[in-house]
């Protein structure tokens, strides 16, 4: 069994933390357009980006940025 990111939770986390997309951009230097692409599930964050964004949002783990799904290993 293996886990893959399912849905990005950025929109929900912005509301929960009170930290806006603009603030994450200022803290991390990640372009707002890229943050929007993550939030709308157009692309998935790499590990280093996920850690950076999770620190900006003051999360305890970068795993909280996504919901996860189990997949079978071939």
The domain locations on the chain are 2-71
| Residues forming a β-bridge with 3 | 70
Residues 3-61: tens digit of each pLDDT = 999 999 999 999 999 999 999 999 999 999 999 999 999 999 999 999 999 999 999 99
pLDDT confidence band for 72 (50 / 70 / 90): confident
Among the listed residues 31, 39, 33, 32, the one whose alpha carbon sits nearest the alpha carbon of residue 10: 39
Q: Where are the beta strands (DSSP E) in 1-74?
A: 2-8, 66-71
pLDDT at 74 > cutoff 80 = no
Q: Which CATH class is domain 2-71?
A: mainly alpha
Number of C-beta neighbours around residue 50 at 10 A? 21
């Amino acid at each position: 069994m293996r886990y893959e990111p399912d849905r990005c939770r950025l929109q929900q986390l912005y509301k929960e933390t009170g930290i806006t997309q603009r603030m994450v951009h200022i803290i991390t230097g990640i372009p707002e357009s890229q943050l929007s692409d993550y939030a709308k599930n157009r692309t998935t964050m790499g590990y280093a980006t996920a850690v950076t964004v999770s620190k900006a949002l003051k999360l305890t783990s970068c795993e909280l940025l996504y919901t996860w799904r189990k997949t079978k290993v071939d």
